[in-house]
Amino acid sequence: MKPFSTVAIPHRDIQEGKFKMETYAADLWEVAKGTASEEYRDRDIFLSRTYETQGLKQILNEAEKRLKGAPSDSVIQLQTPFGGGKTHTLIYLYHKAKQWGAKVFVFSGDKSEVKEGTIWEEMEKQLSGKIDRFKGEVPPGGEKLKEFLKEHEPVLILMDELHSYLTAALAKKVGDSNLATQSLVFIQNLTNVVKSLDKTALFMSLPASCPYPDETSEALLQSLKQIAGRVEKIYTPVSDEEVADVIRRRLFSRIEEDKARMIVKEFVDYAEKERLLPEGMEKSLYRDRFLKSYPFQPEVIDVLYKRWGSFPTFQRTRGVLRLLAMVVHSLINSKKPYIRVADFNLSNEEIRRELIKHIGSEYDSVIAQDITSPNSGAKRVDRAMGDSYLPYCFGTSVATTIFMYSFSGGPDRGATIGEIKLSSVETSVSSSIVVETVEKLKEHLFYLSDHGLFFTNTPNLYKILHDKMETLNSEQINSTEKELLKEHLGNCLENYIWPGDSRDIPDTRALKLIILNKENGLNDIFENYGERPRIYKNTLIFLLKDSSQIIRFNNEIKKMLAWKLIEKDKNIRLTDNEKREIKEKIKKSEELLKGALRDLYRKVYLPSREGFKEIDMGISTYGSGRTIDKEVYERLRQDEELALNIAPVFLLDKYLKSGQYVETKKIYEAFLKVPGEMRIPSDEVLKTAIKKGVREGIFGMGRLNNGNPVCAYFKEDCEVELCDGEILVRKEICEEKIENKYKADTTEKVEKTINEEITYEPGYKKPSQLDLFSHMRFEIRVPSGKLSDFTRTLRYIKDKFKHVSIKISLEALEGQISKSEYEEKIKEAFQQSEIIVEKEELE
């Protein structure tokens, strides 16, 4: 669609920004004196820019007939609300009367000084050039007045702001009376005289209601209406339906109707498709209204003329013209095809001042806080809508629309979603974006009412929320964050939250999830355990924050805490609805915080040969229900960084490819100590793999005997302890064992057969089942230095029995050890070796 300024061509003064605000302040007195602006002073310009409404045409017809001696109304009252076009009509009559060759007497009550003369003196001066017959503060009688006017016919008498003059005249004494009373007498005489003449007409403008608050002024207006009411007839120069035509004529030199029709059609088709047309209004009727008001949407005229125009201080026609002239100029270089309510630039000081003077200066700060300042709520919503919507500035547009609909001198206040959509949409985007924008504005604007879509000068719940958020300190936020982490961690891994020192993380064989608040402690924990080097480095899993999510998370946590503070604050008076709303806000904040916490802690760092490997957990899946450590566990398993089972062939290829044997304990220790090695949740994973490999004959298991591998188990079940001396053996060695065992079994069978045939000497006892033991239990005391002998005996026992368990009673005397040494050197060693201490006595 083409820019509106190429279709509806503004007058040059509007295009160039050279128009003055006085241009739209019609002044009959200045016109009569010849000192008005060119727009009003020059008859041709004024007539060309004036749209002849039906009321104006009727008034002109009556005036022309009367001045030419034809039967017509002689006294006509123009009575409309403030700014309803009265003065403009009188100026139009002034120029037309001059064109018809009549004399014109102009009296403008708000410009005439009471102390400088009377109405009748001014009349004689204007019509005859001198003050002779009517000099003095007592008005002329009817006959003198009739004689005078008849001499100067045709005469058009235009009296504007008469009530204003009479109110001022109350203060001037005239004998026992006052000038206001004498002036009322004159007006009564004048109306009677005009009625009796053939070519004299009187037009008088009176306000529809008294603009002054005192009873005396009100009584004066009623007296004036009563005097004039006996002979006058009331006309309305501009009807509501004609306002758009008046505005277009005053602001634009020409309008390309064909182009305008195409633009309007495109919008109306879009509005019909999106179901935006006002309820009950036919498409054709809305199209006609838009064509009549183009380049303004009909809603622009309605909001200004009917809502803002209902303020007593807002001049309906003149005020609308002045405001729209500024709006048109501010948009002259835009590419907008038409002008919406949303397009009022509240950052423009002149536009803003024109509005604020009717609603109160306090709204200056409201506009800045919520709409126009760089960090206002509306601007934040502009950015929050995403890059694709940023050029449309939906936050600012929708907030502006709501603001313009917020005020009225009557009961109308606020806007519906339908009205906001109609006044804010872009035809290239679905109108649903406006609804989304409104919801975001509710969370960002401080002065948007909690009870409807309109602005107030008192802060809403969101403003109270913001103030509470500002009172929160880092200690409160950190404490809550830590508690949230505790709530959302399970027992899938050993979890450590925000360790203050490397000593806080034990150097054990268990997998540990270390959640850091800051990255700078990572290397210290990885390298050290207190004052000594860390051994089990590959058991560490670090979880750190994603820096891009910190602001979002802090904002969410502040919101939740602030809502809870508001709920508890007895000094804040809340309605029942607001109390319910706050409970919902707290519930919603807690839900959002769960996702925000998970999205914050999403960077996993794993020890590797090159340093640390980073894994980004990504954005959380809503409603997953998993704890953070469980999610880390599952992600590591998915990425094969954590093995729940090991293929025996992996052990063969990695550890037996170039050697005859490998100690099982060293394999396990490599998993735990070497960064980047295979990571397993427990030793059972390795034990299971070894058992399977032995059973399937992939390798054997045995022990070292004087440095030589001895295969004890091959293609059979075995128990794995991952202890010193326990080895995995290449299958070739084990196959030799099987062959030797076969030979040994054969020899045993031969010897058995021979023995059965041997005759024993008298008294020799033959071995029987009574000589075999199937269960042994000892309580033993092993002297210091003899543990290796005990270990060898234990291995022999393990070769004979399938299940062997040991309970050790350890007693240490005649020495001392500190508590810290005990915990670090003994107790922790037990834990690393998975030794269970059933009884502990310390003295």
Alpha-carbon distance values, 703 to 347, 441, 647, 692, 707 (Å): 87, 75, 22, 18, 9
Surface-to-core class of residue 740, CB atoms within 10 Å of its CB (0-12 exposed, 13-18 middle, 19+ buried): exposed
Residue-level pLDDT at 726: 94
Read off the DSSP letter of residue 39: H
Segment 688-710 mean pLDDT:
93
Q: Are 595 and 484 in contact (CB under 8 A)?
A: no
Share of residues in the chain with pLDDT > 90 (%) = 57
Higher pLDDT, 114 or 500: 500
Digit-coded pLDDT (tens) for 20-57: 655 556 788 888 888 888 888 888 888 888 878 888 88
Digit-coded pLDDT (tens) for 756-771: 554 545 554 554 444 5
Other Cβ atoms within 10 Å of 68 Cβ, number: 14
Torsion of CA 795, 796, 799, 801, to 10 degrees: -100
Task: Indicate the pLDDT class of residue 788, thresholds 50, 70 and 90.
Answer: low
Q: Which residue has the tokens 């033959």?
A: 766
Enclosing H/E stretch for 541: strand 540-545
Mean pLDDT score of the chain, rounded to an integer?
A: 86
Q: Cα 632 vs. chain centroid, distance in angstroms?
A: 31
Q: Cα 544 vs. chain centroid, distance in angstroms?
A: 27
pLDDT greater than 90 at residue 787: no
**CATH code, 54-237:** 3.40.50.300
Q: Where are the domains of the chain?
A: 54-237, 252-464, 469-638, 654-741, 777-832
Beta bridge partners of 612: 607
Digit-coded pLDDT (tens) for 7-22: 999 998 888 877 665 5
Surface-to-core class of residue 396, CB atoms within 10 Å of its CB (0-12 exposed, 13-18 middle, 19+ buried): buried
Helical packing angle, 394-404 and 417-424, nearest 10°: 120
Segment 81-93 mean pLDDT:
72
Alpha-carbon distance values, 384 to 369, 500, 635 (Å): 17, 37, 31
Q: Counting runs of H as helices and runs of E as strands, what totals does the chain give?
A: 35, 20
Share of residues in the chain with pLDDT > 70 (%) = 88
Q: Which residue has the tokens 């809305």?
A: 286
**Which three-class secondary structure state does DSSP give residue 529?**
strand
pTM for this structure?
Answer: 0.59
pLDDT greater than 80 at residue 513: yes
Q: Cα 350 vs. chain centroid, distance in angstroms?
A: 29
Task: Indicate the pLDDT class of residue 242, thresholds 50, 70 and 90.
Answer: confident
pLDDT greater than 60 at residue 812: yes
Q: What is the biggest distance separating any 2 CA atoms in the chain, rounded to whole angstroms?
A: 183
Q: β-pairing, 155-160 with 601-608?
A: unpaired
Digit-coded pLDDT (tens) for 157-203: 999 888 888 888 888 998 889 999 999 999 999 999 999 999 999 99
Residue-level pLDDT at 833: 59
pLDDT greater than 80 at residue 547: yes
